[in-house]
């Protein structure tokens, strides 16, 4: 009986260790930890998108080339007021599951971040996407969502 208790205790401790490690090193953290702003009206095919980052100044987001095309190279540039801990962008289909499409931007300068990525091809043609730009500063994540169609 004591052997079973010992084995059960070891199993519970290992499970707890795995759960703690998974939470600690999970990419991006949990969705509930992100302070989502109201969606911004923006057409990234035609102009730079500008977000008000909760009184910390404007954040500008630009895609190139324009118009945005699926399966092609897509450069994402973000400019903001000073350095932050992390900048990432995630794309999801609004009406169809398109898999995980997320990328972390790299700092080119303290206030300029960039990544080159791509969007998957939707076999049904025109696809509405939601993009969420996430900025992490001092352990707090702010999500800035907007929607667009590809092809436009």
pLDDT in tens, 82-141: 899 999 999 999 988 888 899 999 999 999 999 999 988 877 788 899 999 999 999 899
Domains (range + CATH), the chain: 29-150 (2.60.40.1930)
pLDDT in tens, 68-80: 888 889 999 999 9
End-to-end CA distance of the chain: 67
Integer angstrom CA distances of residue 1 from 10, 11, 23, 79, 86 = 14, 15, 33, 63, 51
Does the model's pTM come out above 0.85? no
Beta strands in the chain (DSSP E): 34-36, 49-52, 58-64, 74-79, 86-93, 101-109, 112-117, 127-137, 140-150
Report helix, strand or coil for 20. helix
Instruction: Summarize the confidence of residues 37-66 as an average pLDDT.
Output: 91
């Amino acid at each position: 009986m004591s052997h079973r208790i010992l084995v059960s205790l070891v199993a519970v401790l290992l499970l707890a260790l795995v759960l703690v490690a998974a939470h600690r090193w999970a990419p991006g953290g949990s969705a509930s930890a992100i302070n989502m702003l109201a969606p911004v009206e923006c057409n990234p095919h035609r102009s730079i998108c500008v977000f008000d980052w909760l009184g910390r100044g404007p954040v500008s987001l630009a895609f190139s080339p324009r118009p945005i095309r699926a399966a092609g190279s897509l450069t994402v540039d973000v400019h903001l007021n000073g350095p932050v801990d992390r900048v990432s962008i995630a794309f999801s289909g609004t009406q169809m599951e398109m898999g995980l499409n997320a990328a972390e931007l790299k700092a080119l300068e303290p206030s300029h971040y960039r990544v080159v990525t791509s969007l998957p091809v939707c076999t049904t043609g025109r696809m509405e996407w939601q993009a969420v730009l996430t900025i992490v500063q001092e352990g707090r994540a702010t999500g800035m969502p907007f929607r667009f169609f590809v092809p436009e």
